[in-house]
Amino acid sequence: MKTPFILPVRVYYEDTDAGGVVYHSNYLNFFERARTEMLRDLGFEQNQLREQSGVIFAVRNMQIDYLRPAKFNDLVHVSAVISQLKKVSLTFEQTIKCNEILLCTCSCQVVCLNADKFLPTALPDFLLKQFLTKTNEH
């Protein structure tokens, strides 16, 4: 997917520490929401993927760079774009921006797992085809 999926997220008081700055682990929640909403935008609900195709996704690794703080009541924009697609995994490049200022970057590798055995399994063909289509769009 060359054009990033963008999710607007309002920073709530519960997302921040006592100083009104987003607590570091909450950036993970924002990134997760964007990946989930991107899948939903592509027509895939994760609970349906589990029930109908027997697959789930799990984060295998993640690299995060915190550049500037997000603060209480900021409206941030969280992006997600697939940068690498393999047989059993995909890598997302993600950013969080506020007023076009880059606050945080993330590279996240997600693996496809058999929902019952929690072992790596190939992405279903229909998912792979949709991801490939979106990855090659301009």
Catalytic residue among 15, 17, 65, 116: 17
Which run of H or of E encompasses 107? strand 101-114
Tokens at 132, concatenated = 């490939």
Task: Confirm whether 17 is a catalytic residue.
Answer: yes
Enumerate the active-site residues. Answer: 17
